[in-house]
Amino acid sequence: MTVPGIKTTYTLDDESARALATLAQRWNVAEPEALRRALLQAASQYDPIPSPGERLAALDLLQKSLAERGVDFDAWAREAWAIRHGADPE
């Protein structure tokens, strides 16, 4: 069991409270520990959020790839603006 860090209060609906109690009983732990384990398990199923640097690197890679294929960014921007404003993109 981990050392307590931040103490907080949450309100659960009846169904969630029963589910938490059932998990705690099955795992033979206190409800806060069952909640901690369930949260960590759920969070582990998602990819980590990329850092701002990683996001910028991905954008740079995308822009480089499009430039290498000869995409006209100015024409694309004009067309996107026209579509958003209901004008004919031609």
Contact in structure between 67 and 59 (CB atoms under 8 Å): no
Could you report the per-residue pLDDT of 35-66, keeping only the tens digit for each?
Answer: 999 999 999 898 888 999 999 999 999 989 98
Cα–Cα dist 42/48, whole Å: 12
pTM for the whole thing?
A: 0.51
Residue extents of the structural domains in the chain: 14-43, 52-84
Tell which residue, 35, 41, 46, 48, has the closest CA to residue 4. 35
Cα–Cα dist 68/70, whole Å: 5
Mean pLDDT across the stretch 58-75? Answer: 91
